[in-house]
Structures are given as structure tokens and as C-alpha cells.
Chain A
Amino acid sequence: MIAFIFRRLLLAVPVLFVVISLTFLLMRLTPGNPFSADRAIPPRILAKLEAKHQLDGTLWQQYTRYIRDVAHGNLRDSTKYFGRTVNEILAQTLPVSATLGSLAFLIALGAGIFLGTYAAVHHDQAQDRLAMLTALLGISLPSFILAPLLILVFCTYVPIFPVAGWGSPDQIILPAICLSLPFAAAIARLMRTSMLEVLHLEFVRTARAKGLPERVVIYRHALKVAILPVVSYCGPLAASILTGSIVVEQIFKIPGLGPFFINSVLNRDLFMVGGTVLVYSVTLISFNIVVDALYFLLDRRIKLTS
């Protein structure tokens, strides 16, 4: 187990190296400079700016210096937001995105597991059909469709939530719901299929034969096994929520990482783009390691007990 995690962590290092190298070289090799999007900068000022941001010398020198800095945890200064380091901006915005993302993650898991189990228990009845129709509708309503519609309903027609902003608890509810619902629907579909398969297994019959109440059979016994596909879906789920948060933060004007990332890409803010891509990649890779370890633990327990 520890060897497994260690091996995965070791593999993550070259992957991150490739990610950061590709981002840097792609942004640096293609035309356009990181200091101004439209105006041409006088050559002498450009030279000074390049020297300040260590972008002088050959491309190889620039690249090796940057990689060395990143390896030491220094993501450099933003080339667009003067006087601010990328580390500083990330430290400010990442907690915001992480809060929104983890809340959405929990809502998606909770709602999805419950709806999927509910549908499986009522297999082929009206409740099942209704739940699955809702889920199919849900996966077809991505957050950037859902968000404007929900804002229209809950902020103008029935004004119970604030339109945008960040800081108070009622400002997080609507964005978290918009971000999580499509994935709750996906999990519900996954959960239903898996639960239907598990409910036919012998240990469920045994549990029922013992006279355990149906609620205990399903939520204590069957769920433990049926949840495995959902656990392995957690990796892609995290990736989708991360991507989705970019647009949800934009819509609800939340000061998270997303809007900064989009702006820095459009501004060609070289180091800001590099830093954000690195943070996104580190988040997902470490999340995947945790999920895989969890799956490994759960799976082994099943093999031991069955």
C-alpha cells in the first residue's frame, strides 16, 4: 500500500515536469509577448522588462532558469498584475475555489448516491423511471446552462439568493448547486446500475434472510459493495468539477482561480498560466492517487470478507 502510493508519487514528478515544460514552451514559442496584448512596447523597455522577469537570453536559458525556480517553489511574478507574485495570487484564490469545489463534490456524491440507490430499490417502478429521467435531464444541463437559468429564477423572479459575490453562506449555495447537479446525475446513473447488480448477489439475500430491516440491508451491506464504481468515478468527477468551476466562478463573480486563469491565458500572462496549470495538475494527480488508494482499500476488504 505504502509502496503503491510512493510509486505513484514518484511517477507524478516527471508528469508535472512535462506539463510545466509544455506550457512554458508553448506560450513562449508562439508569437505575442507576455507584457502587452495589443500595443507594441519600445525595444528598450521590452528588454528591461524581459530582464526583470528573467526572460532574456536564449530560450534554453529562460527555460532552465524557470524550471529551477519552479522546482524551488517560486512561481515568479505575474507579468500582467505588476508587483504581485503568482504564489501570492494563488494563495488568495485557491482557498475560494477549493471551498466551492469540495462543497460541490460532496453535494454531487451525496445526491447522486441517494438518487441512484433510490431508483435501484424501486427498480422498474414509476419512482425509478422518474429518477432516471431526472438524471438524464441532469447530465444534459451543464453548469453554464443551469447557472443563468437558476439565476433568472432565484434572483429575479423569486429573489431568495444573491445574484453574485462571495463571502456569506447564502452566496455559496447557488453556485455549488449549479456546479454539482450535472455530476450528481451522472453518479445517480452509475450508482443505480451498480446497485442493481449487487442486489442480486448472495450476501444480500443472506442479509435479508437474517431478517435485517431493508434499510440496513441496502445502506449498510449492499452500498459498501455497490459504491465501488462511484469511487473510481471520483477522479474524472474531480476533473469535471475543476473545469466546471472555471465557468461557474465567472458567472457568479466569485474571486477564485478560474477567472484569473482565463484572464491570464487571454493576456498571455506567462507565469500566471504556468502556475495555474501546475496547481490544477497537482490537485488532480494527488486526488487521483487518494482515490486509487481508497479503491484499493475498499476492494481488498471485499475480497477478504466474501
Chain B
Amino acid sequence: MSSTPHIFKQRYWRDPAFLGCVIFLVALVVAAVVGPHLTGYRYDQMDAKQFQPPGLAHWCGTDFLGYDMLTRILYGARISLLVGLIGALVSLTIGVTYGAVAGYIGGWVDNLLMRLVDILYSLPRIVFVIVMVAAFEKPGTALISRFNLNSLIPDVRLLLLFIGLGLVEWLTMARIVRGQVLVLKEQSFVQAARALGQSHFRIITRHLLPNMLGIILIYLTLTIPVIILEESFLSFLGLGVQAPAPSWGSLLSESAQYINPIRIYWWLLVFPAGFMAATLLALNFVGDTLRDAFDPRSQKK
């Protein structure tokens, strides 16, 4: 494994496609953070003219309410990336803990826990997230206003999405981590740590987890596009981020309502779809490349 980073440097940093994807993602993050302040419009600021085609004043045109599309797309990028990252971190925490416990204890506990993962795999998990978001919206709002955090109320859905999507997307991570722990725990350095009388918690956190960091990070990059996709899916159905705050999914769903054969507002669809597809493409490509480079099991000769 020690030479892998070196090979990685030689092979992938010179690959223009990989480099291009990384540069695109970095640019997107920067644009999502500072972009909405630079376009000269607010995401909920109406211009006098609706349905303006792309031009100098509005680079991506304006939508049915006269909102500037570029501002809304960049703001949507902010929300999508945020949900993707935080959701992936929630799923990472659950998956790593669950997988490490199952693999480390082993025996019937492992059997039971992994059987549960199999069962969850075969259930319609997004359907549960939909029910959960709808059920907890009001209690969530009540909870937030009790703590006098009223400015957060429009973000209740967002918080529910972080938790809900993280809660259903940890299964793959748990399986990977468990497999790794099963292999690592038999190795001599772990047995040495055990012989020294170190606690189980310390063995897991100090010896096992650092050795799996690479693989955990790779599957983190692969989880982010999945969660971004699911967030947009829910926002498309009207169960995600609430208007007027835009998300890529809700932008697409709003625009889809204005498709008609008489007046074609192509910019309403093409720009959000293009941004989202490019982001997913870049994330998938980077994740795939990293996995092929660092995960020995998926390496093909």
C-alpha cells in the first residue's frame, strides 16, 4: 500500500479527465460559496421581466417569477453540496460505527447486525425518508421555536434531509468497514495491542480506524453524489427544500411545469440540468478513479 500514493500521483494527476473533474468541483464549491453574492441579484429578488432568455444582464436568463436563474442555480449548488456533504458525514458516522462494531465483536452479533443490513437493503428506503420528512416537519418546527431559533424555521426540511438521508445511506459503508475490520483484527499489531491490555474502544479507534481511512474516504466521495441525487429527487417532488429557496431538484421541477410547444423556455431546463449532471459526473468520476486506485479488491489486474 505504501507505494500506492506514488503510483497514484504518476498515473492520475496527469490524467486530464481526472484533473478536469477535480478543477471543476473546486470551481463549483467556490462559485457556490461566493457566486450568489457576485451575480448582482438575490436568489429571491424579482426582476421586472419574466422569462428573459440568457443575455448580458442575466447570463442564464430569468424564470417565471423574474428570478435570475444563475443566482438560483449557484444558490441551489450551495444547498445540494451542503446536503450531500453533511448527509454523507452522517451516513459515514453511522456506517463506520455499525460496521466496526459488527466486525470487531464477530460471531452471532455480527451475523445479526449484517442480516439487518441485508433486510434494510431490500426495503424501499427513500419511501421511508419521504414519510419521515412529512411526519417530523411540524414537531421539528415546534422544537426549533422552543429553543428560540426562529431564524432556522425555513431550514427544518433541510435539517430533516441531513438526518433522513444519512439514516438510510450508511449500509454500503457498514459492509465495507465490517469486511475491513474482519481482516485487520486478525493481524499481529492488533493482537499485540490486545495483549498489552488496551481497551476495545482504543483498539478500534487507534488501530483499526486509521488503517481504513483511505477506503472510508473513497466511499465517502461515492456517497456524496448518491445523497445529492436523493435530495434533488425529494426537492423535485416538493418534499425537500422549501420555496423560495432553490435547490437543483426544485428548479428542475418548476421549470418542467413551463414546458409547452408554443413558447419554449429552454434555458429554464438546460442550465440547472447541465450543472447538476456535470457535478454528478465529476463526483462519480473522481470517486471511481480513487476507488480503482486505492481499493485493492476492486483493482483489476
Contact = CB atoms under 8 A, between A and B. Distances in A.
Interface of A: 11, 15, 19, 23, 26-27, 30-32, 136-137, 139-142, 144-145, 147-149, 151-152, 155-157, 159, 163, 193, 196-197, 235-236, 239, 242-243, 246-247, 250-251, 261-262, 265-266, 268, 273, 276-277, 280-281, 284-285, 288
B107 interface: no
Given A140-B277, A280-B127, A284-B122, A30 B139 contact: yes
A235 B127 contact: no
Contact of B123 (A156, A157, A246, A284): A284
B272 to A, nearest CB: 8
Interface in B242-301: 249, 252-253, 255-256, 259-261, 264, 266, 269-270, 273, 276-278, 280-281, 284-285, 288, 300
Given A145-B277, A157-B264, A243 B127 contact: yes
B280 to A, nearest CB: 4
Tell me the interface secondary structure of chain A in the complex.
helix
Contacts of A137: 277, 281
B276 A148 contact: no
Given A31-B139, A140-B277, A235 B119 contact: no
Interface residues of B, number: 48
Q: Give the one of A142, A147, A280, A288 with max B CB within 10 A.
A: A142
A251 B259 CA distance: 11
Nearest to B140: A30
Given A27-B131, A152-B264, 18 more contacts: A15-B123, A19-B123, A136-B288, A140-B277, A144-B232, A144-B233, A144-B236, A149-B269, A149-B270, A155-B259, A155-B261, A156-B260, A235-B122, A239-B122, A262-B237, A265-B134, A268-B134, A284-B123
B252 A140 contact: no
Contacts of B49: none
Given A148-B259, A250-B237, A193 B300 contact: yes
Contacts of B139: 30-31
Contacts of B202: none
A190 B268 CA distance: 34
Contacts of B249: 144
A141 B277 contact: yes
Contact of A32 (B131, B138, B236, B285): B138
B288 to A, nearest CB: 8
A242 B124 contact: yes
Contact of B131 (A156, A243, A265): A265
